[in-house]
Structure 1
Amino acid sequence: MTDQKDIQLAADLRTVVTRLIKVLRKHSVTADKLSLTERSTIALLDQHQELLPNELAAMEKITTQSMSQILANLQQRGLIKRRISETDKRKAIISLSDLGRDMLYQVRNERNAWLNDAIAATCTPEEQELIKKAIGPLTKIVDFE
């Protein structure tokens, strides 16, 4: 049986992580121009270089029709490139444009700068060390299936 203290730890962690995400979202002027799914799609393209629309839809856990709308919007803004597959002319391969990559990195830089400033202004050196040590266990939680 799960201990009530364990449940409280989970609830407290969920609350603070959710609040941190909301605060980080507010500290990027560039990110406000795109929806959460559009930003996530750009990040996936940066990570994987090239993907098919149905692969992106599966990774985002949305329908291919919804992904088509997202990709149309991103293409209209000049943030992605489409090219036809050489092996299957029916398939479009999606990648980031230079503008899309620049936007993604700008968003990350804005958020990293704010978070760095916040850590420096609010945390003692000992607390900063605790945060460093918590990265590993938090990564394990994120990777848990």
Structure 2
Amino acid sequence: MDNKNLEFVSDLRTVVGRLIKKLRKESTTGQQLSLTERSVLFLLLQHKEMLPSELAAMEKITNQSMSGILAHLLELGYITRTTSATDKRKVLITLTKKGEQTLLQVRNERDQWLTKAIQATCTEEEQELLKKAIGPLTKLVDFE
């Protein structure tokens, strides 16, 4: 890879990282939770119910670390733990209404800020470029 491409990669990484940090700051609700806690809530919203081991695998953390995260989310009233009907040794984790509302509030706060920022700083052409960039950026996120 030549220097020009290395600079592009570095610039992209830097700007995406800075945008993520900015979005985190723009949600007072989201600041009360760690990045992994928010991610677990999003996974539960998507999958409805999951085993702690499945959550740990998807977050690429140990089962022990996930246990601590789930204990905190349970304490906050954001999740419930239910014994599996088919295997009493397994516990299923689900999102509570309070957890879902908190998650949607975080998303709404960030979306409002990002909408305002895009409208205030980007021309129509730049907004179209951002829309077109979603596809390639999604491919990067999905790359293993």
What is residue 62 of structure 1 aligned with on the other side? 61
What fraction of aligned residue pairs are identical, expressed as a percent?
65
* 1:6 aligned residue: 5
Distance 2:37 2:8 in 1: 32
Which residue is equivalent to 1:18? 17
What is the Cα-based RMSD across aligned positions, in Å? 0.8
Segment of structure 1 superposing worse, 84-93 or 133-142: 133-142
The answer for the alignment partner of 1:48 in structure 2 is 47
Off by >6 Å, runs of 4+ in structure 1 = none
Deviations 1:87-133 (A, max 9, x none): 11011000100000000000000000000000000011111111111
1:96-115 mapped onto 2 (5 Å cutoff): 96-115=95-114
Q: How far apart, CA to CA, are the structure 2 residues paired with 1:86 and 1:137? A: 42
Structure 1 Cα separation of the partners of residues 134 and 35 of structure 2:
24
Partner of 1:127: 126
Structure 1: which 5+ runs fail to align?
A: none
Alignment of 1:66-81 (within 5 A): 66-81=65-80
Q: Partner of 1:139 in structure 2?
A: 138
Q: Distance in 1 between matches of 2:134 and 2:53?
A: 32
CA distance in 2, matches of 1:137, 1:33: 31
The alignment partner of 1:142 has SS state of helix
TM-score (norm. length: structure 2): 0.97
Structure 2 counterpart SS, 1:83:
strand
